[in-house]
Amino acid sequence: MGNITAFLAMGGYARFVWPAYGLTLLVLTANVMLPLWRERALRRRLRRRHNQERA
């Protein structure tokens, strides 16, 4: 437990180190998810149009 507390405290720099890592995680994750969502929506739209044309 003491080890984890010490790790999280970052030698007193916790309020600078963790926001830096947290923000990085947030921005990098968003940059992965946004194009993937756009791709899924685009494929769905194209497939629907494709099926309509065949029908």
Q: Which residues bind other proteins (CB under 8 A)?
A: 7, 10-13, 16-17, 19-21, 23-24, 27-28, 31-32, 35-36, 38-39, 42-44, 46-47, 50
User: Quick one: 27 or 55, whose CB is closer to other proteins?
Assistant: 27
User: Quick one: 1 or 32, whose CB is closer to other proteins?
Assistant: 32
Q: In degrees rounded to 5, what are phi and psi of residue 13?
A: -100, 15
**Does the CA dihedral 38-39-45-46 come out positive or negative?**
positive
Distance CA 53, CA 36 (A): 26
CB of 21 to other proteins, least distance (A): 6
